[in-house]
Amino acid sequence: MSSKKDVEDSLFIQDEMKTVIKDSIDETIGSQQFQHDKVEHWTNGVGESCIKRLAILNKPFKYVVTTVIMQKNGAGMLVATSGFWNKGTDGSNTIRWENKTMYVIVTIFGTLL
């Protein structure tokens, strides 16, 4: 018989993903303003920070993290994702973070091993 912990470990929990994303953005970008020459560093940093935080959760998932950073300049942008997976265990979570000069959109996809 599986324990409550085993069941929780096999669930993609939205609140956990939200915390992982927000903490990773805060750690990597913080209160900095948009600088074109830092975008590649920030994009990689947010993704790597998310993966490190997800590994600490020690859950039996494969993860994919995408990060988009865009300067606020009035341009439009549409982002969509879809997946074919087990709705009972797998999932995704997208967070849009912004300050006065940029948008950061991070998505975590998690599929149970």
Q: What is the mean pLDDT of residues 9-22?
A: 92
CA dist list (Å): 34 to 14, 46, 56, 97, 112: 28, 15, 30, 13, 36
What's the confidence (pLDDT) of residue 77? 87
| Whether residue 1 has pLDDT greater than 60 | no
Spatial neighbors of 75 by CB under 8 A, at least 6 apart, are none
| Whether residue 6 has pLDDT greater than 70 | no
- Parent domain of 60: 4-112
Listed in order, strand segments (DSSP E) in the chain are 61-71, 91-98, 102-112
Is 49:65 a contact under the CB 8 Å cutoff? no
Inter-helix orientation angle 14-28/39-57, to 10°:
140
The Cα–Cα gap between 94 and 109 comes to 9
The Cα–Cα gap between 77 and 112 comes to 31
| Whether residue 105 has pLDDT greater than 60 | yes
Looking up residue 52, the CATH number of its domain turns out to be 3.30.1140.40
The Cα–Cα gap between 92 and 113 comes to 15
* Count of domains forming the chain: 1
Note the pLDDT tens digit of each residue in 59-76.
Answer: 999 999 999 999 999 998
What's the confidence (pLDDT) of residue 4? 61
Note the pLDDT tens digit of each residue in 49-58.
Answer: 999 999 999 9
